[in-house]
């Protein structure tokens, strides 16, 4: 047995384990999916309206839950890391995204910025379309280059943060302990994002080993664009009917 066959069998085992974890994750992830992916569910609404003062863990949990069940943020993340191979790249892009949404989440609520939730959510939908189009090489083909993707992730991160802020602003949170609660919520958002990201990364890196990744990457990014367009249509209809 030479070194390369040992290496092969080890990597196979490794991916088998990863795949089992991934399958388990999907099953576990499907169970608590009663929450509406946008807005905030009834129980959380009651909590937010009835509790005052610093509630660190509770706000962290709400933040994490919002991220885990918020398909618009997740679709964008899938688009962002779809063609990122190096862990340092992934870390960099995810940090850019986190920096963007953290700043607008905090500033939006603290300065009480009044932005229309439907329009912000439509822009978030657009960010998904943008990334899908970018992943298909659309910008390279049409403009001859792809606009700085790091900057794009940061700028769209700002809008994702504004979206998070509008969800919290609906509750007119009490000033008492607001800053700490916001930090907790933001921390929860990051934790939720990281935990989902782990599953997405495992799935994508597993898939990349297979020929089907090449075959379906165009299909996947087309679907990503389509999902983004659905989000835009959904939110703009809400904007024009309310």
Partner 1 sequence: MQPTLSIKALMKAITIALVCAALALIIIILPAEYNIDPTGFGAKLGLTALAKPTINSVADIEFKQLSDNFDVIVPAGRGVEFKFSMQQFKKMKYEWQTNGEPLYFDLHGEPEGDTTGYFESYAIATLSKMTGSFTAPFSGAHGWYWKNTSVSPITVQLKVNGEYVIIGLKQ
Query: Site mask, partner 1, residues 123-142, x = CB under 8 A?
Result: ------x--xx-xxxx-xxx
Size of residue set near partner 1 by CB under 8 A: 26
Long-range contacts of 175-180 (CB under 8 A, 24+ apart): 176/52, 176/53, 177/52, 177/53, 177/54, 177/55, 178/109, 178/110, 179/110, 180/54, 180/56
Query: Site mask, partner 1, residues 47-76, x = CB under 8 A?
Result: ------------------------------
Ranges within 141-170 binding partner 1 (CB under 8 A): 141-142
Contact call for residues 101 and 160 (beta carbons, < 8 A): yes
Q: Which residues of 67-97 are buried (b: 16+ CB within 10 A; e: fewer)?
A: bbbbebbbbbbbbbbbebeeeeebeebbebb
Of positions 15, 56, 234, 239, contacts partner 1 by CB under 8 A: 234
Q: CB under 8 A: which stretch of 93-101, 104-112, 156-164, 228-236 binds partner 1?
A: 228-236
The CB-of-70 to partner 1 minimum distance in angstroms stands at 16
Instruction: Give the residues lining the site for partner 1 (CB under 8 A).
Output: 83, 129, 132-133, 135-138, 140-142, 217-218, 221-223, 225-227, 229-230, 233-234, 237-238, 241
């Amino acid at each position: 047995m030479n070194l390369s066959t040992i290496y092969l069998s080890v990597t196979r085992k490794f991916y088998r384990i990863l795949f089992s974890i991934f399958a388990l994750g999907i099953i576990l992830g499907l169970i608590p999916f009663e929450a509406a992916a946008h807005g905030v569910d009834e129980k959380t609404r009651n909590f937010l309206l009835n509790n005052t003062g610093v509630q660190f863990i509770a706000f962290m949990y709400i933040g994490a839950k919002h991220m885990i069940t918020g398909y618009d943020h997740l679709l964008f993340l899938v688009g962002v890391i779809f063609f990122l191979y190096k862990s340092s790249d992934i870390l960099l892009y995810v940090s850019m995204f986190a920096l963007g949404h953290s700043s607008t989440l905090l500033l939006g609520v603290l300065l009480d910025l009044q932005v229309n939730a439907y329009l912000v959510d439509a822009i978030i939908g657009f960010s998904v379309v943008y990334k899908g189009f970018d992943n298909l090489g659309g910008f390279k083909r049409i403009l001859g280059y792809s606009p700085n993707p790091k900057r794009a992730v940061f700028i769209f991160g700002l809008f994702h943060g504004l979206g998070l802020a509008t969800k919290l602003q609906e509750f007119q949170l009490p000033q008492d302990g607001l800053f700490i609660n916001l930090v907790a919520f933001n921390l929860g958002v990051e934790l939720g994002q990281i935990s989902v990201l782990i599953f997405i990364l495992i799935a994508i890196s597993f898939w990349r080993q297979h020929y089907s990744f090449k075959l379906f990457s165009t299909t996947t990014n087309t679907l990503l664009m389509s999902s983004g367009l659905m989000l835009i249509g959904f939110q703009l209809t809400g904007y024009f009917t309310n």
